[in-house]
């Protein structure tokens, strides 16, 4: 009998569920997840950095994703000792998922308007986070408006609220 083949683990998230999560360093909250920076030169963009907003008077942090020890909807744990080397802002030409993608119109390859992006699906695979799909459903809109419980209830009742996502590559 052959030993079982280890399947790579995959975990899915939605950007709107992660934004605002507390960021923990050495057991202490240092800020909140504000945005994710992606590298777009691939078919499926990879998240390269987290943008962490901090209390008034402290500079934001720009932290490489490989320093993330734990990623959950309610918290992000970072493996760093000193915050100072990570203080800074992203360059103007870098793509931020929240600031540059959410609430923007999607245009397909034929220059037709598709709809407004209400959320971005992210997949964590082999310690790398990828932006795999965009969500333009009414469910995504209700969720973003803070009406998650209404969206979940209505989702089961009405076909128009079903999740509608399209691949990032499209």
Could you report the per-residue pLDDT of 82-109, keeping only the tens digit for each?
999 999 888 888 889 998 888 777 666 6
Residue 65 in domain: yes
Pick 52 or 155 by higher pLDDT: 52
CATH number of the domain that residue 150 is part of: 2.30.30.240
Are 64 and 47 a contacting pair, CB within 8 Å?
Answer: no
Residue 92 in domain: yes
Q: Residue 70's pLDDT band (boundaries 50, 70, 90)? A: very high
Residue 30 in domain: yes
Collapsed DSSP state (helix, strand, coil) of residue 85: helix
In whole angstroms, how large is the CA radius of gyration of the chain?
17
Q: Is the dihedral of CA 73, 167, 104, 63 positive or negative?
A: positive
Q: Tens digit of pLDDT for each residue in 116-137?
A: 788 888 999 989 999 998 877 6
Choose among 138, 31, 64, 49: nearest CA to 97: 49
Mean per-residue pLDDT of the chain: 80
How high is the pLDDT of residue 117? 82
Say how many domains are in the chain.
1
How high is the pLDDT of residue 161? 45
Per-residue pLDDT, averaged over 72-78, amounts to 94
Residue 117 in domain: yes
Choose among 53, 86, 54: nearest CA to 67: 86
Residue 5 in domain: no
Residue 58 in domain: yes
Are 24 and 78 a contacting pair, CB within 8 Å?
Answer: yes
| pLDDT at residue 160 is higher than 60 | no
Q: Residue 156's domain spans which residues?
A: 11-167
Residue 3 in domain: no
CA distance 157 to 153: 7
């Amino acid at each position: 009998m052959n030993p079982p083949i280890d399947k790579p683990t995959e975990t899915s998230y939605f950007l709107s569920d992660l934004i605002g999560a507390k960021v923990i360093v050495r057991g202490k909250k240092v800020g909140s997840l504000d945005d994710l920076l992606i590298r777009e030169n691939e078919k499926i963009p990879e998240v390269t950095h987290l943008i962490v907003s901090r209390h008034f008077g402290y500079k934001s942090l720009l932290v490489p994703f490989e320093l993330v020890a734990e990623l959950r909807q309610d918290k992000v744990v970072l493996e760093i000792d000193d915050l100072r080397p990570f203080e800074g802002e992203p360059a103007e030409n870098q793509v931020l998922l929240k600031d540059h993608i959410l609430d923007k119109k999607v245009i397909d390859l034929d220059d037709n308007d598709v709809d407004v992006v209400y959320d971005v699906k992210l997949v964590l695979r082999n310690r790398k986070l990828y932006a795999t799909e965009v969500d333009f459903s009414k469910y995504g809109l209700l969720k973003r408006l803070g009406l998650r419980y209404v969206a979940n209830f209505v989702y089961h009742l009405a076909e128009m609220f079903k999740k509608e996502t399209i691949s990032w590559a499209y």
